[in-house]
Amino acid sequence: MSRSQKVALFVLFLPALIITVVFYVIPAVLTAAMSFTDMDFRLRWNFVGFATFARMFEDFLLPRILQNTIVYTFLTLAFFNVGLAVLLALVTSYVPERVGRVFQALWLLPRFTPPIVYGIIWMWILDPTRAGLLNGLLALTGARPVNWMTDYPMATIVVTNGIIGASFGMVIFYSAIKSIPRDYQWAALADGATWPQQVRYITLPLIRWPLLFVTAYQTLSLLTSYEYILIITGGGPYFATTVWSLYAYNMAFGGYFANYEFGYGAALSIVLVILGTVASIVYWRVFRFREMMAEPKIEVM
């Protein structure tokens, strides 16, 4: 390598290297290390070996939490992050482009809204008194107000997270649909296909890779998401909506415990990473992602 190259490498690459190491690699290693200790907010620790992990088997909440996590991830993925996303991408590509873009902007809004504000909007919608939207409308029919968040907690977190999640898939699928060469659509038209037929026989098969990619990627995102759940239901009532990642957070920083049990929290996080890694490997194999990696898949227009 020439000298100018070495200099360039050094100057241009160093910032990223530093930041990555300080704020990513070191914390990752530390987390692994912490999980073997009983560290708390005083940041003093004792090495306790696998005791933190053993504790998990005795934690009576964990099975329920694991179930919550799986149910939540599956439902949100199927109905919103992939399901609704595909539908939205299809319909916004069917209508004239300007109309489509307006609706897409609307659906992207939740993603770019500060989480606390998004939370406020839902708190109002789901308010258990007449002041809330749903109960306010319900009052028109004379029915009694429903406490949505406590009566339907899982539905609440699935819907609220799903509406945000759908926009990711929508954008990706939309651009995949739009990049299907126009000739295929015209050929299908000339062959006599209606739009639903085009979707079934041509469009969907041709966006197979983005579909699989989004499924895998969003699974990981859902496994590790807890921000909105924290804001809207707090994990309640009584852990009904606590998922694994939220439990880890609460263990360390807040929620019902405010224990600052960093050691246990770290251990829980590590398990989450393992879960995520396993899921990735399974997806990689089942979806044969190696075939997809042959071409660069991030295109810029």
- Of residues 95-134, those binding other proteins (CB under 8 A): 95, 101, 103, 105-110, 112-117, 119-125, 127, 129-134
> For other proteins, what does the binding mask look like between residues 236 and 255, x meaning CB under 8 A?
---------x--xx--xx--
Residue 56's identity, in one-letter code, is M
Verify binding: residue 148, other proteins, rule CB under 8 A.
no
CA-CA distance, 269 to 35, in Å (whole number)? Answer: 9
Maximum Cα interatomic distance, the chain, rounded to a whole number of Å: 80
Site for other proteins in 62-101 (CB under 8 A): 84, 87-88, 91-92, 94-95, 101
Which of 153, 165, 235, 265: binder of other proteins (CB under 8 A)?
A: 265
Site for other proteins in 45-64 (CB under 8 A): none
Which of 72, 213, 239, 283: binder of other proteins (CB under 8 A)?
A: 213
Verify binding: residue 36, other proteins, rule CB under 8 A.
no
Verify binding: residue 296, other proteins, rule CB under 8 A.
yes
CA-CA distance, 246 to 5, in Å (whole number)? Answer: 46
CA-CA distance, 206 to 208, in Å (whole number)? Answer: 6
Which of 149, 157, 163, 216: binder of other proteins (CB under 8 A)?
A: 163
CB of 63 to other proteins, least distance (A): 20
The phi, psi pair for 206, rounded to 5°, reads: -80, -10
Verify binding: residue 293, other proteins, rule CB under 8 A.
no
Instruction: Give Cβ neighbours of residue 214 (< 8 Å, ≥ 6 apart).
Output: 81, 82, 85, 168, 169, 172, 173
Residue 71's identity, in one-letter code, is V
CB of 272 to other proteins, least distance (A): 6
DSSP conformational letter for 42: T
Task: Of 152, 282, 292, 164, give the one whose Cα is nearest residue 222.
Answer: 164
Task: Of 159, 169, 180, give the one whose Cα is nearest residue 212.
Answer: 169
CB of 175 to other proteins, least distance (A): 4
CB of 116 to other proteins, least distance (A): 5
